[in-house]
Amino acid sequence: MHASDQGMHEFAVISDSRTDVTVNKILDLVLQEDTDAPDNHFVPTLDDILKAFPDAYAERQLLLEQEERDARLDTPIFVCNLAFPGMPTFLHLFEPRYRLMLRRCLESPNACFGMIMPPRPTGHGTGNDYGTMLKITSVHMLPDGRSMVETLGTHRFRIMERGTLDGYMVGRIERIDDFPEELDDTEESIAAELQTPGLTSAPDLPTLSPASTSAGAGVGQPSNEGLMDICRSFLDQLQEGAAPWVVQRLNTAAGPMPTDPASFSFWMAVVLPIDEVEKAKLLPIKSPRLRLRLVVYWIEQLNSNWWFSGGCTIS
């Protein structure tokens, strides 16, 4: 019998009805202990390994902590300007780090990123813990790599933890939505709202002036619709006077006037000629009514300045 025939015969023997017996014998030979080999009674513990390789362990631990932190910081954040929900924002991205951020956002399932104002010295942190998520609606890529980006604000957020990825900020954020039910005008409700983290720098909401009260509901504090009427009257006053910037902002930056109090408060803040830092105080407030009261308070302050009534504005 040829060697090849013999090999095929042996293979056939393993493959026939005696396969189980043959395999069991092979396993017995493989698993049989070698009685001639010396016993090894030393089993290293985790402490032994850590002592033997301290540098490698420390490096690995840092990598694991970084991976866990990167998994938490999953929101790209653009440090630029103030933005509000429901409002369009047009951006010009030219820095390499933000061009990289934009490309990654466009490759993700949800093409969006957060935007906050630059940090400023305050007694309560950096002063830019709150921002607005922006949904990318249109991108125009320029030949030199710059991008003109159109976005729309979707919701507000608070930064719980922040870090850096390839030069741009990333963070773990908490979404901010309005209360399910509107607050009343009791001191307890206002005090509870003003305890919102990050709102400590906002001014107390004072009782509106008699003129504003009479222009609203007539008795006590005006209704939400009354507060919105005060804002509309203020805009009419400016449009009839020497304030061409109002028409420009209404036609370009702000968009159509909303009818619901929640969106109207943000829309009105975009139009008003006051400092962006002051406007940012609206972001943490979860009550549309309290936001409207703060906007009307700003209007009263503008009306009380003789230089504003004479045609000047706050830039």
From 61, 49, 152, 148, select the one nearest 99 (Cα to Cα).
148
pLDDT at 208: 53
Locate tokens 């010009």: which residue?
92
Query: Residues with Cβ < 8 Å from 173, sequence gap 6 or more?
Result: 75, 114, 157, 158, 159, 160
What's the pLDDT score for residue 66?
A: 72
Query: Are 265 and 292 a contacting pair, CB within 8 Å?
Result: yes
The pLDDT value recorded for residue 11 is 41
Are residues 77 and 169 in contact, defined by beta-carbon separation less than 8 angstroms? Answer: yes
Calpha distance 229→231 (Å, rounded) = 5
Q: What is the pLDDT of residue 50?
A: 72
CATH of domain 73-176: 2.30.130.40
Domain range list for the chain: 73-176, 187-309
Q: What is the pLDDT at residue 246?
A: 64
pLDDT at 65: 73
CB 84 within 8 A of CB 153: yes
With a cut of 50, list the residues of the chain below it in pLDDT: 4, 7-17, 19, 23, 27, 30, 33-34, 187, 198-204, 206, 213-219, 306, 311-315
What CA–CA distance (Å, rounded) separates 280 from 276? 6
User: What integer pLDDT is reported at residue 59 of this predicted model?
Assistant: 81
| Alpha carbons 121 and 126: distance in angstroms, whole number | 6
How far apart, in whole angstroms, are the C-alpha atoms of residue 296 and residue 265? 10
What tokens does 137 get?
């609606």
